[in-house]
Amino acid sequence: MRRGRPQSDINPGLHPARRALAQAVRDQREESGMTVREVADKAHCSPAAVAHAESGRRIPGPRLFASMMKAMGQAVTSPKMARIYGAAVLAAATVLDLYMRVMHR
């Protein structure tokens, strides 16, 4: 039985790497059997921070990401999660760099 609020859909318009990170965070939470609030409490962050990571709305910083993964019982050094997180961060940095180049010509 599901507890808590309905989860937000992952925006299909997001960069594929960012969508993959959001899905991986959501999948890990669901596999752990925890609610968004339980993860937030254990990771010492707000439920909104977890929900934003799961919807792809925001990419959590490295410390928050590590805290969330640890809270859900996932090894922070998991090669799979590190690869997914790194790809999302790199994609965001690339988009930001492109934006800055275009805006500051």
What is the spatial distance between Cα 102 and Cα 105, in angstroms, rounded to a whole number? 6
In a domain, 50, yes or no: yes
In a domain, 9, yes or no: no
In a domain, 8, yes or no: no
How far is CA 100 from each of CA 14, 55, 95, 97, rounded to the nearest angstrom? 19, 25, 9, 5
What is the average per-residue pLDDT within 4-18?
A: 80
In a domain, 30, yes or no: yes
The CATH number covering residue 27 comes to 1.10.260.40
What is the spatial distance between Cα 17 and Cα 92, in angstroms, rounded to a whole number? 9
In a domain, 4, yes or no: no
What is the spatial distance between Cα 105 and Cα 99, in angstroms, rounded to a whole number? 10
What is the spatial distance between Cα 4 and Cα 80, in angstroms, rounded to a whole number? 28
Place of tokens 């968004």: 36
Number of domains in the chain: 1
pTM: 0.83
What is the spatial distance between Cα 92 and Cα 27, in angstroms, rounded to a whole number? 21
Per-residue pLDDT at 99 = 58
pLDDT tens figures, 35-93: 999 999 999 999 999 999 999 999 999 999 999 999 999 887 789 999 999 999 998 88
In a domain, 81, yes or no: yes
